[in-house]
Amino acid sequence: VTTGIRLATVKDAAMLAALHAESFDPGEQWSAQVIGGQMALHGTFGLLWPNLGMLLARVAADEGEILTLGVDKARRRAGVGRALLQEALVRAAALGAEKMFLEVAITNEPALGLYRASGFERVGVRHAYYEDGTDALIMRLDLAAGAVDPSAA
Ligand SMILES: CC(C)(COP(=O)(O)OP(=O)(O)OC[C@H]1O[C@@H](n2cnc3c(N)ncnc32)[C@H](O)[C@@H]1OP(=O)(O)O)[C@@H](O)C(=O)NCCC(=O)NCCS
């Protein structure tokens, strides 16, 4: 699959924030300042498919984490989220991650569908993790198990 995904820089923070705002409720949106600040942290990187989708992830030692992921509402279910996630897994593995983690609301069917389809498995639950009392699932993917397909990114 040919994608328009590229590594984001701090200069892309406004576009990343705009895509993020499109994907999350007002209370959960990350400003350009917050996103820029995250990207400046060691081990944190952003992926941008201009006008379509964004992702932030970080790697510390042998563990990686998907921090956030959002796709333009009008362009969902076309493989953009899957491509962003695959690219993030490849980059995280290259940075030394052997396993990836993420948190997702138990009610978020699209995201759960994407993560399960990408090989993530539930390893725990954080009760009432979100402000409205919704539980979060903790999911993990073992990158060493050959789950990463560079050709899919
Ligand atoms: C989750 C999200 C990023 C998925 O992006 P997307 O580009 O629409 O996803 P893709 O088209 O790549 O879908 C890949 C797979 O995920 C699953 N999936 C995606 N949307 C789904 C839905 N609405 N219901 C069930 N499964 C879904 C499917 O398995 C899909 O494969 P298929 O289309 O071949 O069946 C997008 O819905 C989004 O931005 N949601 C709001 C923000 C959010 O919740 N982010 C995650 C926070 S943890």
Two tokens, residue 54: 């964004």
Using the atom order of ligand 1, give the atom closest to the CA of residue 114: 16
Tell me the mean pLDDT in the region 120-147.
92
Q: What is the pLDDT of residues 81-102, one digit of tens each?
A: 999 999 999 999 999 999 999 9
Tell me the mean pLDDT in the region 68-93.
97
| % of the chain beyond a pLDDT of 70 | 93
For ligand 1, pick from 114, 116, 126, 149 the residue to mutate: most ligand atoms within 8 Å of CB: 114
Task: With CA atoms as reference, report the closest residue to 72 among 94, 50, 57, 95.
Answer: 50
Question: The pTM is what?
Answer: 0.94
How far away, in angstroms, is 77 Cα from ligand 1 center? 6
What integer pLDDT is reported at residue 145 of this predicted model?
67
* DSSP output for 59-112: EETTEEEEEEEEE-GGGTTSSHHHHHHHHHHHHHHHTT-SEEEEEEETT-HHHH
When the pLDDT of each residue in the chain is averaged and rounded to a whole number, the result is 93
Adjacency order of strands within the sheet including 121-126: 6-7, 44-49, 53-60, 63-71, 99-105, 136-142, 121-126
Q: What is the pLDDT of residues 31-65, one digit of tens each?
A: 999 999 999 999 999 999 999 999 999 999 999 99
Using the atom order of ligand 1, give the atom closest to the CA of residue 102: 48
> 150 falls in which pLDDT band (50, 70, 90)?
low
Task: With CA atoms as reference, report the closest residue to 95 among 42, 38, 22.
Answer: 42
How far is 133 from 88, CA to CA, in rounded Å? Answer: 29
> 25 falls in which pLDDT band (50, 70, 90)?
confident
Amino acid at 110: P
